Structure formats: structure tokens, C-alpha cells
Amino acid sequence: MIGNWLDIGPVNQIEPGMARTLPVEGGEEIAVFHTMTGDFYALVNKCPHKQGPLSQGIVHGAVVACPLHNWNISLKTGEALGGDEGCVPTIPLKVDAGRIYLLRSAVLGEKPKPEAA
């Protein structure tokens, strides 16, 4: 029993203001963001506009500017901001004792499972 959270390693592997990627076999690649203010967020690494890799965008506040056409995507909600429309799925994330955890079911794109399956 591993629990519902997937440990993806220490917080210091992502520089503040940057993002790194986590490919999922048979699933969607995930982008994990570290904001300049020290918060972490995870989104599917695909811009709602034309699938640009959000992990490569410039992060400002809790927003990433997509590298392809500069849409601004909220890291908190995955929604396109400022009049653009679209939303990318977010992956629930928590930081505990210096390590980053993603919600396992969301990583795998499944509906959450009860704790004691």
C-alpha cells in the first residue's frame, strides 16, 4: 500500500520560477511548477490553445505564459486568463517535509480510489 500520493522527489530539483516535466507512460506529460514565491503546482503539460508545452513558459506570479503564443495560464486553476478561453487539467500536489507529492489517481488520469482498496 503506497497511499494516494506519488512522491516525485525533493523540492530543490526545480529552481524557483521554473518548471520541469514528468512523462507518464500511456498518459499525459505533467509539468511541475515552482513559483518565485515558493509555491508548487502541477498541470498537464499542454496548453489549452494548441498544446504548447507549458513547462517551457515564463512563470510570473502563479501564472505561466505559454511559449508558443503567449497565452497566460493560471497555475492554480489551469484556466486561460485575460479573455482567452480554455482550461488545462491541474494535478493536486502537496509538499511534505521537502518532497513533492502528486495525487496518484490524477497522475494516472483515473477517478480517485478509496484509501483502503
Partner 1 sequence: MNAPVSFDQEKARETGRERLVVIGNGMAGCRAVEELLERDPDRYSVTIFGAEPRVNYNRIMLSPVLAGEKTFEEIVINGQDWYDDNAITLVSGDPVEHVDCANKSVISASGRVEPYDRLIFATGSDPFIIPVPGKDLPGVVTFRDLDDVDRMLGAAEKGGDAVVIGGGLLGLEAAHGLSLRGMNVTVIHLMPTLMERQLDEAAGWLLKEELERRGQTILTSADTEAILEKDGHVAGVKLKDGREIPADIVVMAVGIRPNVTLAKTAGMEVERGIVVDDHMVTSDPAVLAVGECVQHRGACYGLVAPLWEMCRALADGLTDRPSGYQGSVTSTKLKVSGIDLFSAGDFSGSDGSEDIVMRDAARGVYKRVVVQDSKVIGAVLYGDTADGNWYFDLLKKGEDISDIREALIFGQAYASGGALADPNAAVAALSDDAEICGCNGVSKGKVVACIDAGAHSVDAVRSTCKASASCGSCTNLVESLLAITLGEDVESGPKTMCKCTSFTHSDVRRLILEKELKEIPQVMQELHWTTPDGCSSCRPALNYYLLCAWPGEYVDDQKSRFVNERLHANIQKDGTYSVVPRMWGGLTNPKELRAIADAAEKYQARTVKVTGGQRIDLFGIRKEDLPAIWADLNAAGMVSGHAYGKALRTVKTCVGSEWCRFGTQDSTGLGVKIERMTWGSWMPHKFKIAVSGCPRNCAEATIKDFGVVCVDSGYELHVGGNGGIKVRATDLLCKVETEEEALTTCAAFIQLYREEAHYLERTAPWIERVGLDYVKSRMFDEADAVAKFAARFRISQKYSQIDPWAQRAGGDRKDLHTHLGEVRPLQMEDAL
Contact between residue 89 and residue 43 where contact means Cβ atoms under 8 Å apart: yes
96 sits near partner 1 (criterion: CB under 8 A): no
Instruction: Round to whole Å and give the CA distance between 66 and 117.
Output: 39
Shortest gap between Cβ of 88 and ligand FES (angstroms)?
9
Residue 26 contacts by C-beta under 8 Å, 6 or more apart in sequence? none
15-74 binders of ligand FES (CB under 6 A): 47, 49-52, 66, 68-69, 71
User: Does residue 83 belong to the site contacting partner 1 (CB under 8 A)?
Assistant: yes
Residue whose CB is less far from ligand FES, 69 or 113: 69
Contact 41, 18 (CB under 8 A): no
Q: Which residues bind ligand FES (CB under 6 A)?
A: 47, 49-52, 66, 68-69, 71
